[in-house]
Chains A and B, each alone.
Chain A
Amino acid sequence: MIIAILPLILVVFILQFALVKMPANLFLQFIIGAIMVITGMVLFLIGVDIGILPMGKALGAELPRRGSLPLITGIAFLIGFAATIAEPDVIVLTNQVDTVSGGAIAKNVLVYIIAIGVAFFVATAMLRILLGFPIAYLMAAGYIIIIILAFFTPVEFVPVAFDSGGVTTGPMTVPIILALGLGFSSVLAGKSAMSDGFGLIGLASIGPVIGVMVMGMVLS
């Protein structure tokens, strides 16, 4: 983890002394912030590993044995929603969007729209695994919808919409959704873990893009 972030910090150091020359207090704050980010991320990843990932795995392995199709889909929806709300990336992006847009794109609304978008597509992805529907069709369909919607979305929402798709997948959602999917497909006989469990995350990032685009159209 420390090795992972070190190059970035090094670049900032070089920039600071060679080019940028931030005020000393800002630079100091950056260093303290970087230390907090590293410690925080290490703790978070350990926590996800021993606490949250097993949760996802347990749910993913247990659900298909118990429930009916609508129940499983519904639960996948809830898990997708809950995991997205807790995703650091989503929190960071929505904060930033709120600040930069001066509150025009409100943080809370954006978080929930993104979470619903993810949840919807996680549920769809579960259905895909259960029904054995090829992932390429879903991807293609989702992307084509995005491309079409992009032309009708107000300009100021387009970048935020696409960014929302990207941030849904961070250290929180990735392990949970991956574990959920892998657990699912390993329980379902005759499905290879390789091609079925994966792809969930990719699908999960389509939902928020569509969600935010629709939100933009509605708001204007």
Chain B
Amino acid sequence: MTGVTVWDGFGHTVLGIIEALAPLLVLFIIFQLTVLKLPRSYILNLIKGSLLALVGLALFLQGVHIGFFPAGQAIGEMLGSIRFQWLLIPFGFMMGFLATWGEPAVRILGEQVEEASVGSIRKSIVLYTISGGVALFIALGMAKIIYGVPLLWIIIPGYLLAIGMLWFSDKSVIAIAFDAGGVATGPMAVTFLMAIAVGIASSIQDRDPVIDGFGLIALIALAPILTIMVLGLIIRIKTRRKEENATMAEKSLIVSIVRKGWGDKILQNSCKAGAEGGTIMFGRGVGVHEKQTILGIPIEPEKEIVLTVTDSEETDAVLEEIVRTAELGKPGAGIAFVIPVEKVVGVVHRSDESCTI
């Protein structure tokens, strides 16, 4: 067990964290005292949470310091000295996918996107899009280290592409995309991949660890921006196509108000003309051509109202049939009118069966 140093420099780490968290807490305390004045139980929870975060952060950073960094660097150095260096490119792809897939912040963003978009963008789609994008760019990053390509050659076209896509993307997609860019570069990716990259760069001759080793995180940040925007464009094209389909299948409602006893016949005949059913309601009402009085008292004749939902292209045929059946051409026989329908639920499309009345 020689040389295993777990708590090496731990005090230093803790001090650094207290120093790091202090401004945030001080800021909050000032607001609590002046503006917010939240209840005590709430504050107690916040304090508990902050302490937990502090302890967690200390453990995390110490783990990175003694485990991830040295191991990552060692792996990087060994990888940099293998004979078939191009193997690093698929290796980078795999590592990129795994590291991002495991990144907590990416999951947080995915959930928030799903929530904010009311489920229209699922969190798993966000997760896989970002992971795939990052994987691709880490592979690029590996190529950059191996062949000594300047970072700007990759990053500037990437940024230009991103700016170009800004003009074609929806506002909300842009916002999500750029957030995803920031979110993908969480502690897992940063600690481990950066250590590996620095290790590789320092083991390959003619590569400067500062110039060639860094830059990977920038690529990780760029990747999801591009992939999410592409995803946004795809979703947009798809929904547009769906909307077009929706207009094709528009429905109308035929309302026919006829004399009592005629409803059933209308139902039968409209079915023959292509309607998928209908509903009869009873009502009372009067029109100019059917004023009746008994002993000087006006009476309202009883009516039947037939509601028929039809596909728009069948509406005319059904309406014609209703007019013919109920003799709507004659005065006092009743009226029928057509209303456009925005949405229909519960219609099972009849393909082979016909409505039997």
Contacts and interface: CB of A to CB of B under 8 A. Distances in A.
Given A29-B71, A37-B68, A139-B166, A100 B182 contact: no
B68 A136 contact: no
A31 B220 CA distance: 25
Given A31-B67, A139-B166, A199-B178, 18 more contacts: A8-B102, A12-B71, A36-B62, A41-B187, A51-B52, A54-B46, A55-B28, A62-B31, A92-B191, A136-B167, A150-B155, A159-B151, A159-B211, A194-B175, A199-B174, A202-B179, A202-B182, A202-B225
A37 B64 contact: yes
Interface string B51-69: 1111111111111111111
A36 B214 contact: no
B198 A89 contact: no
Contacts of B202: 100
B218 A59 contact: no
Given A51-B53, A166-B217, A62 B35 contact: yes
B63 A51 contact: no
B286 interface: no
Contact of A202 (B28, B112, B177): B177
A59 B61 CA distance: 28
Interface of A: 1, 3-8, 11-12, 15, 19-23, 25-52, 54-55, 58-59, 62-63, 66, 75, 78-79, 81-83, 85-89, 91-93, 95-97, 100-101, 104-105, 134-136, 139-140, 143-144, 146-147, 150-151, 155-156, 158-160, 162-163, 165-171, 174-176, 178, 192-205
Interface of B: 1-6, 16-17, 19-21, 23-24, 26-28, 31, 35-36, 38, 42, 45-71, 74-75, 78-79, 82, 94-95, 98-99, 101-105, 107-109, 112-113, 116-117, 150-152, 155-156, 159-160, 162-163, 166-167, 171-172, 174-179, 181-183, 185-188, 190-192, 194-195, 198, 202, 208-218, 220-221, 225
B59 A143 contact: no
Nearest to A202: B178
A44 B210 contact: no
Contacts of B95: 8, 11
A46 B210 contact: no
A58 B185 CA distance: 26
Contact of B104 (A1, A35, A93, A146): A1
A47 B179 contact: no
B217 A162 contact: yes
A147 B70 CA distance: 34
A49 B56 CA distance: 12
Contact of A158 (B19, B60, B107, B152): B152
Given A29-B5, A150-B152, A163 B45 contact: no
A26 B68 CA distance: 10
Contact of B24 (A52, A62, A160, A168): A52
Given A41-B56, A54-B42, A163 B186 contact: no
25 contacts: A8-B102, A28-B4, A29-B5, A30-B68, A32-B63, A35-B63, A37-B63, A42-B56, A52-B49, A59-B36, A88-B57, A89-B187, A91-B16, A92-B61, A96-B69, A97-B210, A101-B210, A135-B174, A144-B163, A146-B159, A163-B216, A163-B218, A166-B181, A174-B108, A194-B175
